[in-house]
Structures are given as C-alpha cells and as structure tokens.
Amino acid sequence: MSKNAKVAAGGVAAGLILLIWLPWWAALLIVLGVPAAAYLTLDPAQRRRLRRGTRKEIGR
C-alpha cells in the first residue's frame, strides 16, 4: 500500500470515528477546517507550488 493510500485510509477511519463520537456538524467542521488551516499556514511560494502540481496532474 502506498503512503498516500495509507493516509487516505487513516483519514476515512478518523472521519468515521468523529461522526460516531461527535455531532455531524462538529465532525464536518473538523474534517474541513484542519486541511484549510494547514493550507493557510503555507507561505505564498509553497501555495503556488502546490497549486501548480495539482494542475499539472489534472492535465495528464
């Protein structure tokens, strides 16, 4: 299993646990808020590199 697949599987497991343990709106806030906060902590050069990489993969 690749590293990305392990991260995705862990994210799904964490999301399911959060949905069971917390109200749905709190779990949704965490699931959407953590990646958004991580993106906002990047400096502008890192954000450009991240956007450029994802666009390049879409154009395959």
Q: Which domain holds residue 26?
A: 3-55
Which one-letter DSSP state was computed for residue 60? -
Query: Along the 60 residues of the chain, how does pLDDT read in single tens digits?
Result: 788 889 889 888 888 888 888 888 887 888 788 889 999 999 999 988 888 876 666 655
pLDDT of the residue at 43: 93
Please check whether residue 14 lies inside any domain of the structure.
yes
Please check whether residue 41 lies inside any domain of the structure.
yes
Please check whether residue 24 lies inside any domain of the structure.
yes
Rounded to whole angstroms, how far apart are CA atoms 12 and 21? 14
Greatest extent of the chain over all pairs of C-alpha atoms, in Å: 40
Please check whether residue 21 lies inside any domain of the structure.
yes
> Considering its fold, how many domains does the chain have in total?
1
Please check whether residue 60 lies inside any domain of the structure.
no
Specify the pTM: 0.54
